[in-house]
Amino acid sequence: MSGGLVTLGETMGLVAADGIGSLEFARGFAFGIGGAESNVAIGVARLGGSATWIGRVGRDATGDLIERRLRGEGVRATVIRDSSFTGLMVKHRRTAGLLHVDYHRAGSAGSRLVPADVPAAAVRSAGILHVTGITPALSGTARETVFHAVEAAHAAGVTVSVDVNYRSKLWSSYDAAPVLRDLVTRAQVVFAGPDEAELVLGPGGNPAERLAGLGPSEVVIKDGARGCTALIEGERHAVKALEVTVVDPVGAGDAFVAGYLADRLAGAGPAARLGTAIAAGAFAVTFPGDCEGLPTRPDLESLLSATDNVSR
């Protein structure tokens, strides 16, 4: 099925400690998968859209799990098996309000992505190519691959979506800023947090307007519990966040992006896209894990229509 989402990047195994406190005292762990791009692909698929993920994993049990999970979610997974290991992230809640994430991904299979890994036909037939600022931080070849895919999308007239998604544990702001700015200038749709916008642009001014000045026609500023603001085809929007009980904030931004892009692919207008994005992000934080809490359409309907906390 053509016209869906195509994305590429690294998906890792995710080890999450149970409870709250120092990792050395944790006695229970859950194991799953996580990665910004695959989270968005799963999120779009759960909302009824077509999604393709492209990436490398190791010839190991974690790589097997990633491939099975993606395909089980209805994502078209172009999985390249690599001789290196599948990356890993370890997550624990140091205090009730502080979530700590460590990465073990230097030299991983996912960091060895190369332009030849991206099928030209998949990009040409896409409705949206979605990339993030994470993948360019992984290696020189991964960065080259992201820009190669973006240029292929441009040549085919395919919309390019970029989530700035700056990760300070992967590269410095000094190294990241010019690359992320270059990526933003090549996109039609851009997502960023206020701090990420400042990283790309420097301080001052309205972040949505300033990012739009680099070329994108749709700029969405994700602002957590404050909701979001956007400048879409010259029209300003602001949507408040929904009040929910936060269990795990990781993955909320990816759920937000998936909600917006799923509705965009379905032909919904800007207000509907932003409403779905806000609801998807709110639903995701009520469940532990990177992708486990990504909602379906019925989930969103339940969230928006709930009057009590009992479903009968």
| Residues taking part in catalysis | 254
**Pick from 56, 184, 167, 38: nearest CA to 115:** 56
Report yes or no: 135 and 37 within 8 Å, Cβ to Cβ.
Answer: yes
* Amino acid at site 112: R
CA distances from 312 to 168, 295, 306, 308 (A): 44, 19, 12, 11
Contacts of 174 (CB under 8 A, 6+ apart): none
Which residues fall within 8 angstroms of residue 309, CB to CB, at 6 or more apart?
none
Closest C-alpha among 233, 238, 308 to residue 275: 238
Is residue 82 a contact partner of residue 109, using CB atoms and an 8 Å limit?
Answer: yes
> In Å, how far are 38, 114, 118, 294 from 54, measured between CA atoms?
9, 11, 7, 20
> Is the Cβ–Cβ distance between 62 and 13 less than 8 Å?
yes
Angstrom distance (rounded) from CA 176 to CA 205? 21
For residue 9 the two structure tokens come to 């990047």
Number of helices (H) and strands (E), helices first, in the chain?
Answer: 10, 13
Strand partners, 98: 95
Which of 157, 113, 150, 115 is CA-nearest to residue 130? 150
- DSSP E strand stretches across 83-233: 88-95, 98-104, 128-132, 159-163, 189-192, 218-222, 228-232
